[in-house]
Amino acid sequence: MTTTVQIGAARVRLEDDGKGFPLLLLHGFPATRRLWARVSPLLVEAGFRVLVPDLIGYGESEAPAGARIDMASQARWMLELLGQLALTRVAIVAHDVGSAAAQLMVISEPRRIRGLAVLDGVYAGEWAMGAIAGIQTWDPAEANRLFPVLARRLAKSAAMREMLATYQGAQGGLQLIRAARDLDPEQTANIGAQLRSSGVPAAVLWGERDEFLSIEEVGRPLAQLLGASLVPLPGGHFTPLDCPSEVGKALLDFLTPLSER
């Protein structure tokens, strides 16, 4: 079921499907909730309630005028979303810089987070910012030209094109420019000790061919920090689209025991 939740002046567009233990699935940049379109049904079928929002200011979720849409703000908004939905404890599954928001949620309210699964995410201040420098410096007056460039670089499959579709046109380009300029790796640069002491169970899943965030240079140290196993996956950076069945199996291996506690 697709629905909209109002959080102050922000509006969150999300999919809310299934029953059972709740999971919050977060995308990163420059993605939308469609990143999870092939994984979410596997989790619903396994007996979970699966919440898949567009981050605020991304996709179809609307940000307040003038508000920062950085990952610290996303973390606060997502915790408010859980409150609006009367969910006291959830597990979070997060990809790319969405994992920064997830990590900030963990250190802010660890008792509300039953588990954290990170897919091709960020570690400390390593957010692969070089990959988006061109978007950060893009002329807003030329925003309508951004999507075709992004599509040529990333949209190698129909699923990827569907995920990015809302960023077509000038308005979509402006969304991407705003989101890129608000990303701030300093927000997770020094939270390692808090993550380690949170006590939240974690899993780390990574595409073996990730061209943006290396499995060895980013995935392995993140897994060590979280006290988690590192699960290699047969894909690139966008593993939920590249290998959804493998992602689904690895997530269920981690999430099912958590839901039974």
Give residue 20's domain range: 2-129+184-259
pLDDT tens digits for 30-62?
Answer: 999 999 999 999 999 999 999 999 999 999 999
| Residue 153: per-residue pLDDT | 87
pLDDT tens digits for 87-140?
Answer: 999 999 999 999 999 999 999 999 999 999 999 999 999 999 999 999 999 999
Residue 18, phi then psi, degrees to nearest 5:
85, 175
CATH number, domain of 245, equals 3.40.50.1820
15 within domain boundaries: yes
Count the Cβ atoms, other than its own, within 10 Å of residue 199. Answer: 10
136 within domain boundaries: no
150 within domain boundaries: no
Q: Residue 75: is its pLDDT beyond 90?
A: yes
100 within domain boundaries: yes
Buried b (16+ CB within 10 A) or exposed e, 100-139: bbbbbbbbeeeebbbbbbbbbbbbbebbbeebbeebeebe
Query: What is the Cα–Cα distance from 208 to 201, expressed in whole angstroms?
Result: 23
Contact indicator for 51, 3 with CB cutoff of 8 Å: no
| Residue 155: per-residue pLDDT | 73
CA dihedral of residues 171, 172, 175, 177 (deg, nearest 10): -100
- Which value, in Å, is the radius of gyration of the alpha carbons in the chain? 17
14 within domain boundaries: yes
| Residue 259: per-residue pLDDT | 81
Tally of structural domains, the chain: 1
For the sheet containing 49-53, what is the strand order?
2-7, 10-17, 49-53, 22-26, 90-96, 113-121, 202-207, 230-233
* Chain centroid, CA 109 distance in Å: 18
Query: What is the Cα–Cα distance from 261 to 187, expressed in whole angstroms?
Result: 32
pLDDT tens digits for 211-221?
Answer: 999 999 999 99
139 within domain boundaries: no
0.95 exceeded by pTM: yes
Q: Which residue has the tokens 């508000």?
A: 67
| Residue 156: per-residue pLDDT | 75
172 within domain boundaries: no
